[in-house]
Amino acid sequence: MAVNVAHIVTRCIAGAGGVAVRGAISIDPARYHSTLVTGSGGPLLDEARSHGIEVVVIPELVSPISPRQDAIALARILSVLRERHVDVVHTHSAKAGVLGRVAARSLGTRRVVHTMHGFPFHAFQSALTQGTYVQIERSLSRVTDVYLAIGTGVAVEMIQRGLARPEQIRTIGPAVDPPTVITSAATRARARLLLGIGDDVPVVGTVGRMDYQKAPEILIEAVSRLTSQAMLVWAGDGPLLDAARRQVAELGLQDRILLLGNRADVPTILPAFDVFAMASRYEGLPCVIVEAQQSGIPVVATAVNAVSDVVIPGESGLLVPPGRVDLLAGALDHALANPHLAHQWVCNARSQLGTRYAPETLAAVLDEVYCPSRPPAVSTRLWSEAS
């Protein structure tokens, strides 16, 4: 008899949403029946449906604290769990993590799992805000069977802050699909043709939501300080997109900075980048960094949370402190000026990634976590491909 699993995520986009969907897709449908519950989403919802995952959208499930909407979302989550006789609740992200786990325990759900992609608290908040979030998570640990920490840095901080008991925490990598496009002379030329960029122009690129976390103003400022006339290409939308456009105009960089908004062809345009950059103030372990490394692009990123799992300083990329425009600009200059060294970072990164971030690796972990007393599946390869 199949085990009913509810995967609950606040917004089914990018990082957390991608991991939730890949997890639901990767587990054996003969052993598990998956329902994806989310407040909003885009193409990932279509991907889930195409693999036979039931999708339930609860519009009241939103990121900001909203007592009225939160109460409605909790009631609707309870209804979904009851109607589908859910055996395992697996939550992702802060708001879904709170409401989903409260609903699960109120119904006596057999197994409750929470993936910690990063933290809702960070160094750029007040001590009171940080402390409140820490206390909430410590309380929720009493109704959580297993935490899946995305990356070593996240797991270590959980232990240091006493968010959960050590035996509750398991470190995993995010599931990242194999690259569909590998950087080569041909794919680079095609990507640059799509973007209207000349072959001889140095390009710093990034992919991500334009919000406070991703620090677009820091990256734009860093590019303005580069010794070369490198371009910045940013793929992604968000609340700071208009502010970024104003900053670009104020700096007179309209001919050097290309703000693309959302793109459905990110794998195709990645090879246009000479260096992938991330200026985030805080993160978990972004899937897009792994995707860039797998595609053959060297990475310069901020030293936050678990990023150092995949970007080992001087070995598989460069790391800089968040908020340091000068050091970010210097690191980008170094990567652009030393392409042979940057190529070695790519080779080292591909070697160290191995299969740790493959969907089938996550499937094996989920099988053990969801049903710890049951023998593991014979194969954890993507089931739709194996059949």
Position 381 scores a pLDDT of 40
pTM for this one? 0.83
Q: pLDDT band for position 386 (50/70/90)?
A: very low
**What are the strands, taking DSSP E only, across 68-194?**
88-92, 111-116, 146-150, 169-172
Q: What is the pLDDT of residues 32-45, one digit of tens each?
A: 999 999 999 888 99
**What does the pLDDT average to over 120-125?**
76
Position 376 scores a pLDDT of 56
**Cβ-contact 331, 302 below 8 angstroms:** no
Determine the straight-line distance between the first and last CA of the chain, rounded to whole angstroms: 19
Burial pattern 272-296, b for ≥16 Cβ within 10 A else e, equals bbbbbbbbbbbbbbbbbbbbbbbbb
**Cβ-contact 116, 305 below 8 angstroms:** no
| Helix (H) or strand (E) segment spanning residue 39 | strand 32-41
Residue 380 has pLDDT above 60, yes or no: no
**Cβ-contact 125, 103 below 8 angstroms:** no
Amino acid at 64: P
- Domains of the chain in start order, with CATH, are 3-175+358-386 (3.40.50.2000), 185-353 (3.40.50.2000)
Q: Alpha-carbon distance 46 to 43, whole Å?
A: 5
- Cα–Cα–Cα angle for 206, 264, 182, rounded to 5 degrees: 65
| Helix (H) or strand (E) segment spanning residue 32 | strand 32-41
- Cα–Cα–Cα angle for 119, 124, 129, rounded to 5 degrees: 65
